[in-house]
Structure formats: structure tokens, C-alpha cells
Amino acid sequence: MSAIDEGDDVVLYLDNRRTYMVRVEAGKQFHTHKGFVELGDLIGKPFGSPVVSSLGASFYALRPLIRDRIIKTERRTQVLYPKDIGYLLQQLDISSGSRVVEAGTGSGALTMALADSVRPEGRIYSYEINPAFQAVARGNIERASLMAYVELKEGDVTEGIEEKNVDAVVLDLATPWIVVPHASDALAGGGIFASFSPTIEQVMKTVAALREHPFIEVDTVELILRHITVAENRTRPQTQMLGHSGYITTSRKILK
């Protein structure tokens, strides 16, 4: 995808703090405090091209990455940060052809990252009990052109998981410990369980449940992200940082 077509999403980059994801349409303008950009002027240009606003500010039109779609997704719920999603993807060890159960879908941020990892042969089965959240997630996933790899399911995984012999189960919900026995039934041998929880009390209950079922390599981490300001004679950690977002607990199912 070297040239921008009408209907494409692009990220307009002004600087490290100000980026905007927009859809390219002829005759449409995107307005900012730096003036407006004629979106139709982007059609046919290569990704990475500069575009000048009405006030003379230079933007760059970039192809959206999955991290852009996660950060700038329409949301009804708190979404996971890329720092947490990246670790989850590595721990889940999924690739094209993997079958993954996710709950809850929320705004679809993690769903998009999972779908991008398992395409074109894999499948994400994403459970959500709130139809309003699911509708938002569907729009976000469709905009990312990943709906072909996702099955959105309105259901409560604390009552059971329909899929069997899946490669991974990943949870972002209030009571993951209730789902542990259902995850055990759904996972293939060696399959990965993962849950994201904001509080340590949730982690303690989840770990206790995992130890009562056939799981090994139970591990919990918290990821802290700190950016560095790099400038001659002024290189130092930034004053603000992305600290606690949640705890990630992972484990692997064994057969007895």
C-alpha cells in the first residue's frame, strides 16, 4: 500500500505530541489549530508525504499502524496500552492460524491486535456482555479491515466458553478467576491463559484459581513505561511517565 487512495485512513503527524487519524475523502477538510488540510489533496500521494495546511503548517501523512488504531480508537471503555498489548502478544505466542478466545471485547483495541497477529488463517472469538460496547468494537474492527478474522459473540464467559482446543484465552474483565475452569476446558494442551487486572486482589484470586486447575508457569508482571527526552546536554527521563495500568497474569495448561 504505497499510495493513498480515497477512503484510506491516514495519520496526520504534526509532532510527537500531536497526531490525528482521519479518513481521506475528496472535498473534505480536516481542521486543526494549525489550519485545515484538504484531505482530497492526499489522494495518489505516497504514504509519508508532506501536506501543508491553510496556515502553512507541515503535516506528514502516515499509514496507520496497529498501535495508532489502538490509541486513537473510538472507545466506550478503558483500552489496554500498547505496552501491555505487546507483552500479551509475546506471551500468547500466537501467529497465523491460531485460534484465540477473548473476553471482554470492550472497544476492540486488544481484539484488533490479536486479529492482526493471527491473520489470514486464524480466528478470534471475542465475548462481550454489553451490546453497546460490542457495537463500538465492531465499528473499530471494521475500520481496521480486520473483521474477517473476528467472531464477535454476545455472551458471558463466566458461564462457559463454547470453543474447544483453542490456542489461547485472554481476559480483560472484572472476575477472571471465575473463568479459569472454563478456560481450562477450552484450551488445548500447552495452551496459554492470560488475564489483565487493575487490582492486586483480582490477581490473587486468579492465581489461586489457576493453582487449583491444570496450569503451570503461573506468572504476574506489571509493566512501567518511561520515555526519555534526548537533547544535547539535556538528555534525561521525562517528568511524566506511564506507570500502573494493570497486572498481567499468564500460565500454560497441562494435561493430566
CATH code: domain 9-64 is: 3.10.330.20
> What local confidence, expressed as pLDDT, does residue 10 receive?
95
Higher pLDDT pick, 74 / 32 = 32
Average pLDDT over residues 65-83: 78
Q: Is the pLDDT of residue 79 over 90?
A: no
> What local confidence, expressed as pLDDT, does residue 73 receive?
74
Tell me phi and psi for residue 96, to 5 degrees: -55, 130
* Interval 120-170: pLDDT, tens: 999 999 999 999 999 999 999 999 999 999 999 999 999 999 999 999 999
> What local confidence, expressed as pLDDT, does residue 207 receive?
98
> What local confidence, expressed as pLDDT, does residue 1 receive?
54
- Categorize the per-residue pLDDT at 67 as very low, low, confident or very high, splitting at 50, 70 and 90: confident
Question: Which CATH number, 3.40.50.150, 1.10.3720.10, 3.20.20.80, 3.40.630.30, labels domain 69-253?
Answer: 3.40.50.150
* Interval 190-231: pLDDT, tens: 999 999 999 999 999 999 999 999 999 999 999 998 889 999
pTM, full prediction: 0.83
> What local confidence, expressed as pLDDT, does residue 70 receive?
80
Residues of the chain with CATH 3.10.330.20: 9-64
State the SS3 of the chain. CCECCCCCEEEEEEECCEEEEEECCCCCEEEECCEEEEHHHHCCCECCCEEECCCCCEEEEECCCHHHHHHCCCCCCCCCCHHHHHHHHHHHCCCCCCEEEEECCCCCHHHHHHHHHHCCCCEEEEEECCHHHHHHHHHHHHHCCCHHHEEEEECCHHHCCCCCCEEEEEECCCCHHHHHHHHHHHEEEEEEEEEEECCHHHHHHHHHHHHCCCEEEEEEEECCECCEECCCCCCEECCCCECCCCEEEEEEECCC
